[in-house]
Amino acid sequence: MSGCVCPWWLGYLIAGPWRKLWQDPGTILRPFLADGMTALEPGPGMGFFTLDMARLVGPTGRVVAVDVQPRMLDVLRRRAIKAALMDRIDIRLAQGAGMGIDDLDGRVDFVLAFAVVHELPDAGRFFAEARRAMRPGGRLLLSEPRMHVGEAAFAATLGLAERAGLVVEERPTIAMSRSAVLSAR
């Protein structure tokens, strides 16, 4: 894992509407989310997936978006307010080495780790923390960019997830990505 975080200004490109041409958030997320669910999104950036997640969990659901970059979170907050979804999104600035989600232990139905694990300094710690937050039967969609993460590195990442108590269910096809769906047993 690199520990090198995507610069905040690149978030404007990553969250651009043209990206939906090959990675449509609704299509990717719909199989995992339903009304009333609690979802966790580490590294949401400016919210490319977050707003769709909030729509899918409905007015009784919740999306917890945790990032290390205040500027990314500021833009996410503005976008959520503009979309009238802020009441469903809990935006948190990560402090220290963890995500600061101890209050979520055993409550999360779905975790979206999209193009973020390769940036973390300690992926094993991330998976352990995510697993603690997940309820039994909860699922985690791991997706890493092919241009940054080779097959061997992705296999090593899956090994860290399995050591944290997650089980690979399937390997879905997502454009330009290496992906896996993992479950908490």
What CATH code is carried by the domain that includes residue 72?
3.40.50.150
Residue 23, pLDDT score: 61
| Domain annotation covers residue 68 | yes
Q: Which residues contact 16 (CB under 8 A, 6 or more apart)?
A: none
Q: How many whole angstroms separate alpha carbon 12 and alpha carbon 104?
A: 29
Q: Is residue 1 part of a domain?
A: no
| Total number of domains constituting the chain | 1
Q: List Cβ neighbours of 28 (8 Å cut-off, separation of 6 or more).
A: 49, 141, 174
126 with 117: CB under 8 angstroms? yes
Q: Angle CA(51)–CA(161)–CA(62) in degrees, nearest 5?
A: 25
Across residues 41-62, what is the average pLDDT?
95
Can you give the residue range of the structural domain that contains 35? 8-184
* Token couple for 139: 């699922």
Confidence of residue 44 (pLDDT cuts 50, 70, 90): very high
Min mean pLDDT across 5-19, 47-61, 137-151 is at 5-19
If you average pLDDT over residues 164-170, what whole number do you get?
Answer: 97
Residue 103 pLDDT exceeds 50: yes
Asked if residue 98 has pLDDT above 60, the reply is: yes
Query: Is residue 12's pLDDT more than 70?
Result: no
